[in-house]
Amino acid sequence: MIHPGEFLTRDDPRADPFGERLRPAICMSRQVLGGRFRFESDSIALLELVEAAYGCLPAHRFPGLSPEFHVELRLVPRTAGSALTEPPPVRTQGGKGLLCGVVDACNYVLLVPAQRRGLVVVSEDMLAFPYHVRYELIEFAVFLLASRVLNLVPLHGACIGKDGLGVLLLGASGAGKSTLALHALLAGMQMLAEDSVFVHAESLLATGVANFLHVKSDTLRFVDDPAAREWIEQAPVIRRRSGVVKHEADLRGRAGLAAPAPLRIVAAVFVTDEPGDATRGLLDSIPWEFAAPMLADDQPYGSGQVGWDRFVQKIVRAGVYRLRRGAHPRDAIRALAPLFDCARGAG
């Protein structure tokens, strides 16, 4: 409260209770998911996390679309008495054109897609959890802004590609999508994204962030290339909220692994734990009357977004398949190869 006769200076925190006059000292621009993101902050630590996530990525653009986004990253004082072993999960909220993700009172994201703007607030103690800050706060802002402004259908899944064509890998967590993505790379293909894919429904052009590949140690028994094994084994280890521990291998230090431009999706493949056999093989087509509900069940968030119905119409027409597990992951990659060949021939 301001008492009669009391005057406030510009430096008095009561004169700017919302921090609106703060001016970030450093700006960084990165082309991500078809948009130009301008990150502003006075915290080198937060900008280093942006660079770790989006530095040295291929600059994906959609024809005729190149919006600019502004995201402010604000570091606030350490939370009193905090001694967390893991931050609480993000809670989401939205309404009246605003989207919000909240960890606690000092760690949250506020987005205004109509204005292409976002605010990411991080407390100093959260810097001890760079994986969570990067994926659950910074990525939250970037992914939501890009998908809402560019009208992209967000999908939980991976996407591998070749010669400008892409195949979506869908299915439950733990089904083996990351393992297949690794062996696709070892077979000379490229990766568009490992965990989140964003598709323009009308063109079926897809983009993603091909920065890291997450691989469990027990899957390395299938990697015959000593150099590839060493690359993954020397990568940092992260622990996901599910408790799963994986190597986080950076793709950007190895030339040619990331798709250089958006890929045209030619098929969607549900990866399953069901073993294949000599009679049925590994890959079979899913009839259209079953494909649409399977897609909706697999993508509860994406199925509620603008463009979903058109995406389903287009992808069902392109082809939806089921992939069974082979004796070795490279068997599954061989089973997927005809999808690229047929699409290339049809094009």
Identify whether the C-beta of residue 347 lies closer than 8 Å to the C-beta of residue 280.
no
Regarding whether 107 and 200 lie in a shared domain, the answer is no
Are 89 and 128 contained in the same domain? Answer: yes
Note whether residue 208 is domain-resident. Answer: yes
Among 150, 181, 198, the domain-final residue is 150
Q: What is the pLDDT of residues 219-256, one digit of tens each?
A: 899 999 999 999 999 999 998 888 889 999 999 988 88
Residue 86 is predicted with a pLDDT of 85
Tell me: the pLDDT tens digits for 160-184? 999 999 999 999 887 889 999 999 9
Q: How many domains does the chain have?
A: 2
Tell whether 259 is covered by a domain: yes
Whether 4 is covered by a domain: the verdict is no
pLDDT of 47 higher than 80:
yes
State the amino acid at position 243 in one-letter form: G
Q: Are 111 and 146 within one domain?
A: yes
Task: Check whether residue 55 and residue 163 sit in a common domain.
Answer: no
Same domain (yes/no): 115, 192: no
Residue where a domain stops, chosen among 150, 169, 185:
150
pLDDT at 66 over 70: yes
- Is the domain of 304 the same as that of 172? yes
HEC profile of the chain: CCCCCCCCCCCCHHHCCCCCCCCCCEEEEEEECCEEEEEEECCHHHHHHHHHHHCCCCCCCECCECCEEEEEEEEECCCCCCCCCCCCCCEEEEECCEEEEEEECCEEEEEEHHHCEEEEEEEHHHHHCHHHHHHHHHHHHHHHHHHHHHCEEEEECEEEEECCEEEEEECCCCCCHHHHHHHHHHCCCEEEECCEEEEECCCCEEEECCCEEEECHHHHHHCCCHHHHHHHHCCCEEECCCCCEEEEEEHHHCCCCECCCCEEEEEEEEEEEEECECCCECEEECCHHHHHHHHHHHCCCHHHCCCHHHHHHHHHHHCEEEEEECCCHHHHHHHHHHHHHHHHHHC
Q: What's the whole-number mean pLDDT along residues 268-291?
A: 88
Same domain for 134 and 159?
Answer: no
Q: Considering the domain boundaries, does residue 2 fall inside one?
A: no
Distance between CA 108 and CA 120 in Å, rounded?
A: 6
**Is 300 inside any structural domain?**
yes
Q: What is the mean pLDDT of residues 4-27?
A: 65
CATH number at residue 280: 3.40.50
The whole domain housing 116 covers 13-150
Among 127, 150, 173, residue at a domain's last position: 150
Shared-domain flag, residues 126 and 214: no
Residue 13's pLDDT band, with cuts at 50, 70 and 90, is low
